[in-house]
Amino acid sequence: MLEIKNVKKSFGKQEVLKDVSLRVEKGDVIVILGPSGSGKTTLLRSLAFLEKADGGVMTLGDKSLDMHNASSKDIAWVRKRTAFVFQNYNLFANKTALENVMLGLTAGRGMKKDEAERIARKALRDVGLEDRMDYYPSRLSGGQQQRVGIARAMAVKPDVIFFDEPTSALYPELTGEVLKVLRNLADKKTTMIIVTHEMAFARDVASQVIFMDDGYILEQGRPEEVFDNPEQERTKQFLSSYS
Ligand code: ADP
Ligand code: MG
C-alpha cells in the first residue's frame, strides 16, 4: 500500500536518514521506537512531504515517485492521501474544534461547507468530543486538543495517518484517553505509522515494531519478536531503559 526505498535526508552535513526502506500494508499499525535524535520525526515528515528527502522512492497505491524530485502536483497527490498528527497538536488557536476539523476538508480538499461540517461533527463524536465542538483550543485540555488533531486527520479519510509522539506533550493522566482513540482506530483497521514511547501500547496494538537508531532501521518485527527477543544489542539496551 505504501512503500519507501532507500530514503536519505541530511541537514547540512548531518546525515539524519542514512538509508531507510519500509513497507506498509493496508491495516498495518507500524510503531517506530528509537532514541531521541535517531531520525524518527524526520522519517515521518519525509513520508508526508513536510520535509523533502534527498533521495528515495515512494510507492503509494499505484503511483511511484522520486521523493527528491517529486513535482508539486505529486506532492499534493500524496498529501491528499495522508494525514499527520503532531506532538503539539498544531491546531489553529482562533478556530473552534469544529472549525479546525472542517478546515482540513474545505481549505484542504475543496469540500463544500455543509458536507465538511457533517463529516467533522462525526469525526469529533468518534473521538468523544461531541460536547466540545464549539470550544477554542485554549479551553480544551491537552488530551482533548490532541483528540481534535486526530479527528482532523481521520476526517479526510487518508490512506495512512502518521503520528509523531501523539501523547508525549500530555500530562500522564491524559495519555490514556488519546491511546484509547488510537486503539479504536487500530480496531477499525486504519493504516497508521506511530512514533511513540508508550511500550505497553506498542506491544498491544502494533502489527510491526521498528527500532530506529542513528538514521537506520536497526530492527523490525512483530511486537513479541522485538520486545521479547531483540536481535540487536542496541535494541536490548534501549528497551531495558523502559523496563
Ligand atoms: P527524533 O524524532 O528521532 O528525535 P529527529 O528526526 O527529530 O529525531 O532529528 C534527527 C536529527 O536531525 C537530530 O540531530 C536533529 O537535531 C536533526 N534535525 C531535525 N530537524 C532538523 C532541521 N529542520 N534542521 C536541522 N537539523 C534537524
Ligand atoms: Mg521526534
Q: Which single residue is written with the C-alpha cell 510503531?
A: 31
Residue 109 pLDDT > 90: no
pLDDT digits (tens, 9 = 90+) for 116-167: 999 999 999 999 999 999 999 999 999 999 999 999 999 999 999 999 999 9
* Interatomic CA distance for residues 235 and 74, integer angstroms: 36
* Interatomic CA distance for residues 196 and 201, integer angstroms: 9
Tell me, in angstroms, the distance from the centre of ligand 1 to residue 10's CA. Answer: 9
Tell me, using a 6 A CB cutoff, whether residue 82 lines ligand 1.
no
Counting ligand 1 atoms within 8 A of each CB, the residue from 7, 11, 14, 234 with the most, and so the one to mutate, is 11
Query: Residue 53 — pLDDT band, cuts 50, 70, 90?
Result: very high
Integer-rounded Cα Rg, in Å, for the chain is 18
Q: Read off φ and ψ for residue 10, nearest 5 degrees.
A: -120, 150
What are the Cα distances from residue 216, in Å, to 32, 34, 98, 116, 163? 12, 10, 39, 40, 19
Edge-to-edge strand ranges of the sheet holding 160-164? 82-85, 160-164, 192-195, 29-33, 208-213, 216-221
Query: Residue 108 — pLDDT band, cuts 50, 70, 90?
Result: confident
Query: What number is the average pLDDT over the span 85-112?
Result: 95
Tell me what the pLDDT averaged over the chain comes to. 96
Residue pair 166/7 in contact by the 8 Å Cβ criterion: no
Residue whose CA is closest, atom 16 of ligand 1? 37
Residue 65 pLDDT > 80: yes
What are the Cα distances from residue 97, in Å, to 44, 129, 145? 25, 9, 8
Tell me, using a 6 A CB cutoff, whether residue 41 lines ligand 1.
yes
The percent of residues above 90 in pLDDT, for the chain, comes to: 97
- 3-class DSSP assignment, residue 14: strand
Query: What number is the average pLDDT over the span 37-66?
Result: 96
Q: Which single residue is written with the C-alpha cell 520486545?
A: 227
Residue whose CA is closest, atom 25 of ligand 1? 11
At 243 the pLDDT is 72
Tell me, using a 6 A CB cutoff, whether residue 40 lines ligand 1.
yes
Residue pair 23/5 in contact by the 8 Å Cβ criterion: no
Tell me, in angstroms, the distance from the centre of ligand 1 to residue 37's CA. Answer: 6
